[in-house]
Structure 1
Amino acid sequence: MGKELIFKALRHEPLESTPWVPFAGVHAGQLKGYSAMEMLQNADYIVESLKETYKLYMPDGLPVIFDLQVEAEILGCELLWARDNPPSVVSHPLAGTTEIPCLCTLPTAESGRLPMILDAMRRTKAELGDDVALYGLICGPFTLASHLRGTDIFMDMMTNKPYVKALMEFCGQVSCRMAELYIEAGMDIVAVVDPLVSQVSPKMIANLLSDSFTAVFDYIRSKGAFSSFFVCGNATKQIEVMCKMRPDGISIDENVNLAAAKEVSDQYNITMGGNIPLTTTMLHGNQQDNMKAVIDLIDSVADKTNFIVSPGCDMPYDTPKENTVACAQAVKNTEQCREMVKNYEGSAFADIEVEIPDYENSEKVIIELFLLDPDQCAACTYMLASVVDAYEEMKDYAEYRVYKYFIKEDIARTMKMGIANLPTMCINGKQAFISLIPNKDELLAAVKACVK
């Protein structure tokens, strides 16, 4: 049974086969013809979509929703809704103030969209819970703090550390409350999803963030559920400090070498999950690309315990279902699929023509943002916001351009520029901030240094 296979992986027991968790997210709605906005506001649509996901993709584990803005909306952030992405945060209640929200604002079962979400969780548990492990995804404390505070949080980390600690403590309490509600609704695993962790140095994490995360994982364990720590971006340097926070599992995206990361997590007996490439493979690839990606992942791992195969993050809405079926087949029938793709070289983007700017002769400094998806990836959202927020002060001598890694031409440009990790900010063609969101002073200084 798939559910027990996930449990074995998170209990760090020997596995008879590799567990498979498709992070279908709003893609599940696409399978039934629902937009992201429709699905994420309707329990009937969520349950219907998850049943279709279960039927098509044969998952061992399955997230009920993938929306990191639920808590932010409850706490006063305004959201911008989209057809094919979860909503994005467009206002920050704590911008310009160093207040800490009152504990009376902690979510309850009646807050925001929670009545609908909890209903969907209970119904999905009744429909699928005997066979598949259900994941309840919550927004991690640091990303939630960023939703509330905006880009000011990155300057706070340099100039007002006590405030950051206090805000993190509050956001950790929000995470614990959400975990409690989701566990009561039948969730087997609570995944703490915090994309922005990869944008902070391990030392800063240890000093300012770790206590709150550790408290959340300890709380989930005390409630009898499993925990997983989702992070986006190049979290290679952060893996060890994440392990020290004591989650049962960690999930990474394609920016991280899974085999190398697993060598670190194995030292702490923590399960590692990931990291099928989302856009180059799942969205724009073919079935052979997806089979080969999964088989290469499985083959890269020497010790098959403490291992779950999954997409690198929330699957793009328009991912062809045949590609995800191919991933499922590669996990479930690995030897057969290995034979099918043994001589396959893979498709490529190198033949797409792109024009690189003439940085030397440009009148203005050119800032280029290479992002996964500024509407869906929180780290990308805040890297873009760091430029937008500072743009008024540098618009006379700088301009910025945004490239999105789900557009084929932008993928080709990313490859031609030699960008290995996303998000990355280039200034006049040089990689200035790699998986690191600058504060305003750092950004302005880096741009001014390039003014002719």
Structure 2
Amino acid sequence: MNVKNNVLKVLSGEESDITPVISVTQVAVVEAMEKTNAFWPEAHTNAEKMATLGSSLYELAGLESARIPFCLTVEAEAMGCKVNLGGEDRTPQIAETPFRNASDIEVPDDFLSRGRIPVVLEAVEILKEKYGDTLPIVVGITGPFTLAGHLLGVENLVRYMKIRPSEIETAIDNSLDACMDYAEAISEVGPDIICVAEPTAAPELIDPLQFKSIVKPRLEDLANVIKTKKVLHICGSTQPIIRDMASIGYDGISIEEKVDIKTAKQDLGKGGKVIRVGGKTMNMGGETSSKIVGNISTTQTLFRSSPEEVKAEVKQALEDGIDILAPSCGLAPRSPITNIKAMVEARNEFFGI
């Protein structure tokens, strides 16, 4: 089986003999760093190390994708924020932002040559040269709403949405310009999938009506400039917005374990015909034809549980009709490789291979 073709077939809405098992979110774990000698924080700034670590779970556990980078601070840094790159088991965080007001946000003329953007683009090219015909290459980017939150502070963003809504929409639009420039640059170097992460748009943080009126139109604009397959990831209990997520124009929507797969499939089935093929529920089209990606728990199952417990959760997700198996969010850096192997083994056992 060519794992790249299999993933792309599913995202294209074609029937597949086996459900892919990939990650569209953060994949670096400390055990893999030790085995490949590609450690954080160096792998955030060195393209060779980034590519090595981003493909490490394919090499060590059979995960059917490579995925880079390992955080959501690349764009904010290029916009002018100071970033603490963290350590071996700590992801980068925004340390300081120069933006005090929404009106301050502007995309620098040299945005695409700043910070780690050139490193990410080079790492894609390295991965393409090594795996281009066999392994799907996934690049994660930050959504415009989340980027605006990084630039202004999430608390300020949510508060200003209530008291200065027009000003905030301008800030999000300016952030969108940066996201679109970055997405176009990534598309040009030719990965297979771009995953747009919008964790700040979770229903726990903003009202679903605000998602529909403010976030959704910008995500549609961003989808229109992405020339690869594209997946939208939003954290949390996204059931209230799942039909909106699926109708934006992304080939897949990535969900956490808080979302019930069967209910989500039923909701999305209202926009297209759903049939049962080879033990899998397949959405055959319609306005909500996005494939569901996820939702094996990263905070509990893949991080803390036994391989047997991982396998049980994976097989239940397959029974429920998940389209593409994946961690529910970014892997915790101390997650054991044996649990990632267990994901792949459980999928194989389910399909009898």
TM-score by length of 1: 0.69
Q: Which letter maps to 1:287?
A: P
Q: Which residue of 1 aligns with 2:320?
A: 300
Give how far 1:196 is off.
Answer: 1.1
Residue 49 of structure 1 pairs with residue 53 of structure 2: yes
> 2:247 aligned to 237, 244, 247, which one?
244
1:256-299 deviations in Å (ceiling 9; x for gaps): 22222233234311111001111321111111011111101101
Distance 1:203 1:119, change over 3 A: same
> 2:213 aligned to 203, 207, 211, which one?
207
Q: Which residue of 2 aligns with 1:333?
A: 349
SS of match in other structure, 2:97 = coil
Q: Which letter maps to 2:119?
A: M
SS of match in other structure, 1:40 = helix
Residue 280 of structure 1 pairs with residue 300 of structure 2: yes
Q: Which residue of 2 aligns with 1:15?
A: 16
CA RMSD of aligned residues (A): 1.9
Q: Which letter maps to 1:328?
A: V
1:67-120 deviations in Å (ceiling 9; x for gaps): 10000111122222322132011223323x231433444721x21112222111
Q: How far apart in 1 are the matches of 2:171 and 2:8? A: 33
Q: Which letter maps to 1:139?
A: T
> 1:174 aligned to 178, 181, 206, which one?
178
Which segment is superposed worse, 310-319 or 179-188? Answer: 179-188
Q: How far apart in 2 are the matches of 1:277 and 1:62? A: 19
Higher alpha-carbon Rg: 1
Q: How does 1:60-79 map to 2 (within 5 A)?
A: 60-79=64-83
1:111-141 deviations in Å (ceiling 9; x for gaps): 1112222111101111012111111110011
Percent identity of the aligned residues?
24
Q: How far apart in 2 are the matches of 1:51 and 1:40? A: 14
Contact 1:278-1:311 at 8 Å conserved across structures = yes
Q: Which residue of 2 aligns with 1:138?
A: 141
Q: How does 1:302-317 map to 2 (within 5 A)?
A: 307-317=323-333
1:388-422 deviations in Å (ceiling 9; x for gaps): xxxxxxxxxxxxxxxxxxxxxxxxxxxxxxxxxxx
Residue 94 of structure 1 pairs with residue 107 of structure 2: no
Unpaired runs of 5+ residues, structure 2, are 272-287
Q: How far apart in 2 are the matches of 1:74 and 1:50? A: 21
Q: Which residue of 2 aligns with 1:184?
A: 188
Q: How far apart in 2 are the matches of 1:278 and 1:260? A: 21
> 2:169 aligned to 159, 165, 170, which one?
165
Contact 1:25-1:315 at 8 Å conserved across structures = yes
> 2:27 aligned to 25, 30, 36, which one?
25
Q: How far apart in 1 are the matches of 2:117 and 2:70? A: 14
After TM superposition, what 4+ stretches of structure 1 lie above 4 angstroms from structure 2? none
Residue 156 of structure 1 pairs with residue 160 of structure 2: yes
Matched residues, number: 328
Give how far 1:332 is off.
Answer: 2.5
Q: How far apart in 2 are the matches of 1:210 and 1:200? A: 12
Give how far 1:49 is off.
Answer: 2.4
Give how far 1:309 is off.
Answer: 0.3
Q: How far apart in 2 are the matches of 1:237 and 1:228? A: 18
Residue 271 of structure 1 pairs with residue 275 of structure 2: no
Distance 1:24 1:159, change over 3 A: closer
Q: How far apart in 1 are the matches of 2:330 and 2:136? A: 17
Contact 1:253-1:313 at 8 Å conserved across structures = yes
Contact 1:190-1:228 at 8 Å conserved across structures = yes
Contact 1:92-1:149 at 8 Å conserved across structures = yes
SS of match in other structure, 1:90 = strand
Q: How far apart in 1 are the matches of 2:301 and 2:136? A: 26
Contact 1:236-1:261 at 8 Å conserved across structures = yes
> 2:86 aligned to 82, 94, 97, which one?
82
Contact 2:311-2:346 at 8 Å conserved across structures = yes
Residue 147 of structure 1 pairs with residue 150 of structure 2: yes
Q: Which letter maps to 2:324?
A: I
Q: Which residue of 2 aligns with 1:405?
A: none
Q: How far apart in 1 are the matches of 2:290 and 2:110? A: 30
Contact 1:291-1:327 at 8 Å conserved across structures = yes
Residue 324 of structure 1 pairs with residue 326 of structure 2: no
Contact 1:26-1:39 at 8 Å conserved across structures = no
Distance 1:178 1:31, change over 3 A: farther
Unpaired runs of 5+ residues, structure 1, are 338-452
Distance 1:226 1:51, change over 3 A: closer
Q: How far apart in 2 are the matches of 1:170 and 1:160? A: 16
Contact 1:265-1:272 at 8 Å conserved across structures = no
Give how far 1:17 is off.
Answer: 0.5
Q: Which residue of 1 aligns with 2:111?
A: 107
Q: Which letter maps to 2:99?
A: L
